[in-house]
Amino acid sequence: MTYCVAIKLNAGLVFLSDSRTNAGLDQINSFRKMIVYEKPGDRFMVLLSAGNLSIAQSVREILQVEQIKEDADSQGISIWNATSMFDAARVLGAAIRRVHARDAESLKQAGIEFNVSLIFGGQIAGEGMRLFQVYSAGNFIEATPETPYFQIGESKYGKPVLDRVITPHTPLEEAAKCALVSMDSTLKSNLSVGLPLDMVVYEVHALQSDKVVCIDHDNPYFQMLHNSWGQKLREVFDSIEDPMWNGGPTDVPLRMPSERLQPIKKIRTPDEKLI
């Protein structure tokens, strides 16, 4: 399993991925789930992948050379000459369908589902930043101000903090911190997600980035964040009053006399037989 998250903000983009593909008692494998496609001054794109590793790796390789044509006479569109991120996402979709046409039937005969999930985002000169989530069929959806982030893989543990913190107006560094907290929460609760992590932070209109880092067990910032987040959560938890059934010092009882809805209570009498 894996966990990847990408966030689109007014100030830029944040991408974060783990590297674990297998977790077991005696086997843990790591493969990078992030790849950056960069032509400084012209385009900057990042691809995150989850799902079947062989499918994801095939898609990544084909994407670099894949072209789509609108008609027989038109020039092929690739990620390197597309004039919009939408067209680049279409090329990615075509690469997925090409792998599906080649491998899906063989995988099915082996009892393996064709399963791949991707996040693709960035900026091409002449248009704004865009962020897409791409599915196994090659179709995709785009991030909006109401939904400014995408997750793939083991997403449930890291979602609550993103929902509480992230808006389009969130500063880049704060969003990067939030993404790392989201990842730390996932690492804490799921052994199928693991270090090292890859992170890229992209500033709007830069069309390149030097904020690229690989985070391992010895990374001092991530260790500080991991320890601080757990400690602060405990402090906040301890600061909340325990439930009081009939009122208490804070006058916020858990049970109110006017409460109408009650759980079903089953009482077993001594002569009742179990069926």
Domain ranges of the chain: 3-233
Interatomic CA distance for residues 150 and 230, integer angstroms: 24
Q: Give the pLDDT band of residue 123 (cuts 50, 70, 90).
A: very high
Looking at the domain covering 3-233, what would its CATH class be? alpha beta
Per-residue DSSP letters for 204-242? TT-SS--EEEEE-TT-HHHHHHHHHHHHHHHHHHHHSPP
Residue 81, pLDDT score: 96
Lowest mean pLDDT among 30-39, 80-89, 111-120, 251-260: 251-260
C-alpha span between 1 and 23 (Å, rounded):
8
- When pLDDT is cut at 50, 70 and 90, the band that residue 22 belongs to is low
| pLDDT (tens digit per residue) in 208-236 | 999 999 999 999 999 999 999 999 999 99
Q: Is 103 helix (H, G, I), strand (E, B) or coil?
A: helix
Structural tokens at position 24: 């077991």
Q: How confident is the model at residue 113 (pLDDT cuts 50, 70, 90)?
A: very high
The mean pLDDT value for 129-143 works out to 98
Q: Which helix (H) or strand (E) holds 27?
A: none
Query: Does residue 181 sit in helix, strand or coil?
Result: helix
What are 227-267's pLDDT values in tens digits? Answer: 999 999 999 999 998 887 776 666 777 777 665 666 777 77
Apex CA 237: angle with CA 233 and CA 242, to 5°?
Answer: 170
- What is the C-alpha separation between 59 and 96, in angstroms, rounded? 6
Distance CA 253, CA 49 (A): 48
How many Cβ atoms sit within 10 Å of the Cβ of residue 253?
14
pLDDT score, position 162: 98
pTM: 0.91
Looking at the predicted structure, is the pLDDT value of residue 207 above 90?
A: yes
